[in-house]
Amino acid sequence: MGILALITGKAGASGFGSASTAEHVTDGADASRLTVAITGGASGIGLETSRVFALRGAHVVIAARNTEAASEARKTIMEKNPTARIDVLKLDLSSLKSVRAFVDQFNSMKLPLNILINNAGVMFCPFQLSKNGVEMQFATNHLGYFLLTNLLLDTMKATAKSTGIEGRIVNLSSVAHHHTYPKGIDFDNLNDEKIYNDKMAYGQSKLANLLHAKELSRRLKEEGANITVNSVHPGLIMTNLMRHSFVLMKVLQVATYILWKNVPQGAATTCYVGLSPQLKGVTGKYFADCNVEKTSKLARSEELAKQLWDFSEELIKSAK
């Protein structure tokens, strides 16, 4: 991501750039045959993603921890778009029990699933363990998604097969994946409060998003499934995600204000990767400002991706 392009909003090879908005990058898209599940779709860039997918005709399922806020979000969207199809289901990604309950509820609705947007997350939170005894940022930002995605895969495969429409999974990662622990994923000290660093733990979870997408993409390609898996960096946006470091982020925003995006710009890359016909068959990539971007060396490691996959499976099996 060139700093000049980021500042000026200059379009890249896709025809879009940092100044592009979610509506702009999906202009002309017809999503009326699609069902999309969006985690954290009730606020911030998740809400904008929900709004724009609904605007393009998709049946949107908002998965949110706070269903009251999600219902309000649904109401807000439908005030301007009365024909929008939106359902709200409860999901707390830090709880594996909640993930399983969400999938059971989703399956009971007998809906197809074309697109999964793994959007929700936590950032820079103080050290704490999830209900399953896993460091909270890793539990919420990676492990919950890992289980959620795996449990929804059969539905996505069946939908892609019956409709002939390519399924898409989009993981929201971050440029923060460059700033993590020395080994990338600190498997041996995941829950060690003594060495915990909120910034590096966040970077670790965002690296995990990339590695998860990389390995899942490889597996799906190997079995011939008509589903792509990609990761995105939405950019710097002041949202509720930053509640644990609000003062720090405000100071950073003042110092680097020219690099920050508004919410419609922040949701653009997610919507582009989720809906653009330009990306048919494109999988295992990382996007920023609606263009393919290079990742860190650790994020390109096939060995680390496979190790994380096996570790995640074992962690779920042994979870409290």
- How many other C-beta atoms lie within 10 A of the C-beta of residue 78? 15
- CA dist 153 and 222 (Å) reads 15
Task: Return phi, psi of residue 87, to 5°.
Answer: -115, 155
Helix axes 44-55, 268-275, angle to 10 degrees: 40
Hey, is 262 helix, strand or coil? coil
Hey, is 232 helix, strand or coil? strand
- Catalytic entry in 196, 202, 257, 272: 196
> Which residues of 80-206 form beta strands (DSSP E)?
85-90, 115-118, 167-172
Among this protein's residues, is 202 annotated catalytic?
no
Task: Find where tokens 């990306």 sit.
Answer: 279
- CA dist 92 and 66 (Å) reads 9
One-letter amino acid identity for 27?
A: D
Residues in the chain: 320
- CA dist 124 and 243 (Å) reads 9
- CA dist 91 and 72 (Å) reads 16
One-letter amino acid identity for 170?
A: V
Helix (H) / strand (E) containing 98: helix 96-108
- CA dist 137 and 52 (Å) reads 28
Which residues are catalytically annotated?
A: 196
